[in-house]
A and B are shown apart, each in its own frame.
Chain A
């Protein structure tokens, strides 16, 4: 059993466990932390997938920026642990919602896994064959040629997000 495999299993385990932690965790603070962990593990998987650059961005942007934003908000609103479901109808609804949702998620998981396993292992004919995709140059080229428009479009996206965030979160004058 070679290193790659071992690494894969380790990272996969971490990711899954961490994610489970995120959704199983009452305290949003911990959730965020755990999520960062799982992202770290994902970054590891990216490395295994010969995508170091992506791995780095994953760490820097995702774990570094976005998650910090979350953390910031959690702090700001300062709600240490979520309050138990309201009593009465809504509460009951909530719990039933939970059950339904959990069941559905399970079903979905099974569906996807089953479907993908149905796809078959050697489905790409040759495995691990292809040319290296780790080169940042390639990525850069492709990003600014093939995906130039999408790239430009994201600028609008971000602009919208900014304006939106401002207009919503801004206190009343």
Chain B
């Protein structure tokens, strides 16, 4: 029996060491510690997962009793079931790879910064593990906010860059908006069910509530609020704006946090609360709609971005949209499956881009790249694999998961609505292929455009002597991930292809209320249609690649021509639909103006304090006026005395 708390604890210890004594350690040592801890925790995870798989039992352990107040009692307890098993493997596994990768990538940093970087990375791993292992909402929330913090710290890692600092703050604040929803959701659940333990809530909900098909009931409200949290964490409309900016952080961070793990927390959370969401069809519809919309929007934007990382970022947003679509149509397993495969190829892609950037001394603009194929072979081939995988080329991991989603969308009930979703899904699949290969061609094919002059300080060492491919630590990570991107999908080969869709059956219990009968998820439609659609989507993938070849490989002129022909559209897309500007103008500025002019200068200084000082002033004025009565002339004094007497007598006589 393994101690679950140890899994997050080990990276945390790594954090403690690096945070406190890190700056006195050599790079090798601090990096080593970091990797060691995360690897150890990976080992533990494997062991733990093995026990779960073998015993078909969830493990639940309580570290200590956290909060108790009245009927509210929150133990700090962890729960490892099939769902969290997948998650911790992804986190620790890919996490370890990225740690290793970082050893090479961050090598130019000074010791202190290097240690700081790894301490943050470890801390992130710890919190992420808490998030997925947490057995109750508050514990999950600990991880939830913890990873937010780490992403804040890591995005702003190069804090001297104002852009980085801004991006970090933006990420945190936007996430906070989501957390606001998350908290309210928790409150509703607690007040409704009197507990915050996820299993208990699920059980209670399943036993007491029927699906709220009509209107907004408690469950719907709660799930919607939780979903608001998810949109924040997983960069969905309307809160996706922080993710692209987050690319200011070091690339491995983007790979780990903003591609593989943290941003999928929202998806995981919905899976975790599948029972509740299933009871709220309205929420599910919203989730699906938002997911699809995000997927499409991000896809379109990704089509025209020129920053290599931003393209990947938007593709991440888009892929996350897919996952939410899956969740929305109730295909939780499919969603998680895609999360899992996506972790591989997106991490791979980011690390690949990282390798490129590293090689180009910090150059990130596609327009200054090209023809890197011959210089960076490893990077190129691995990157290509990743691209193929994400594009959904058959027999690669992406293909299985994405297709599962599209298929489940197609077969889901509510025909019109879902066929619409399906259509958009397909379109997005096409777009994905297109922009991914645009990226590939612009970066690796053709010949070099421009040279890296303005480089990031951290890669200054790379500047000067010619381009070199990824150093071993990075190469290792790339290769492992490439292999993963190819084969990861085979745990979920659909029945239609004669597979057993093992992942589905493995995850399925996690989405049912405890004690509910384990009937397999009902899948409508037959194998033939499924195969047909598979072919269709595969075709779309190739079509997308074809388009990319036409525009950016064969005759690049066409691309410019088109971008000029559809100038407006082009500008809108390259400006990301002006969403940031709209938010700024409609929310940020008004608040600032109101606070400064209205509340602070107006209400506070003017109104309230004005009143207070007004009283003082009034007294002084009255004082100044009344003292004038004291003219110094004895007659006045006598008069006042006399007046008093007369009044007194008058009072008595005329009453």
Contacts and interface: CB of A to CB of B under 8 A. Distances in A.
B649 interface: yes
Interface stretch (B18-26, B138-146, B438-446, B634-642): B634-642
B625 interface: no
Contacts of B631: 93
Given A100-B639, A101-B639, A90 B633 contact: yes
Interface string A70-103: 0000000000000000000010011001101100
A118 B642 CA distance: 23
A93 B649 CA distance: 26
Interface residues of B, number: 13
Interface in A84-130: 90, 93-94, 97-98, 100-101, 104-105, 107-108, 111-112, 114-115, 118
A26 to B, nearest CB: 17
A90 B632 CA distance: 10
Given A111-B653, A114-B653, A115-B653, A93 B646 contact: no
B650 interface: yes
B645 interface: yes
B603 interface: no
Contact of B636 (A97, A104, A118): A97
Given A101-B642, A104-B642, A111 B635 contact: no
B576 to A, nearest CB: 78
B646 A101 contact: no
Contacts of A94: 633, 635
A108 B639 contact: no
A142 to B, nearest CB: 31
B105 to A, nearest CB: 90
A132 B636 CA distance: 46
Nearest to A94: B635
A108 B636 contact: no
Nearest to A97: B635
B653 A104 contact: no
Contacts of B636: 93, 97
A105 B650 CA distance: 13
B611 interface: no
Instruction: Choose among A94, A100, A105, A114 the residue with the greatest number of B CB atoms under 10 Å from its CB.
Output: A100
A4 to B, nearest CB: 31
B643 interface: yes
Contacts of A114: 653
Contacts of A108: 642, 645-646, 649
A104 B638 CA distance: 11
Contacts of B643: 100, 104
A114 B654 CA distance: 11
B633 A111 contact: no
A93 B642 contact: no
A97 B639 contact: yes
Contact of B646 (A97, A98, A111, A118): A111
Contact of A97 (B633, B645, B649): B633
A118 B635 CA distance: 32
A91 to B, nearest CB: 11
A95 to B, nearest CB: 10
Interface string B611-649: 000000000000000000001010110110011011001
Contacts of B633: 90, 93-94, 97
Given A93-B631, A107-B646, A111-B646, A101 B653 contact: no
B633 to A, nearest CB: 6
A105 B635 CA distance: 13
B649 A111 contact: yes
Contacts of B635: 93-94, 97-98, 101
Contacts of A112: 649
Given A90-B633, A93-B633, A94-B633, A104 B649 contact: no
Given A90-B633, A93-B631, A93-B633, A101 B638 contact: yes
Contacts of A98: 635
Nearest to B645: A108
B644 to A, nearest CB: 10
Interface of A: 90, 93-94, 97-98, 100-101, 104-105, 107-108, 111-112, 114-115, 118
Given A104-B646, A112-B649, 17 more contacts: A93-B631, A93-B636, A97-B635, A97-B639, A98-B635, A101-B638, A101-B642, A104-B642, A104-B643, A107-B650, A108-B642, A111-B646, A111-B650, A111-B653, A114-B653, A115-B653, A118-B653
The 9 closest A-B pairs by CB, nearest first: A97-B635, A111-B649, A104-B642, A100-B639, A108-B646, A107-B646, A115-B653, A104-B646, A93-B633
13 contacts: A93-B633, A93-B635, A93-B636, A94-B635, A101-B635, A101-B642, A104-B643, A105-B642, A111-B646, A111-B649, A111-B650, A112-B649, A115-B653
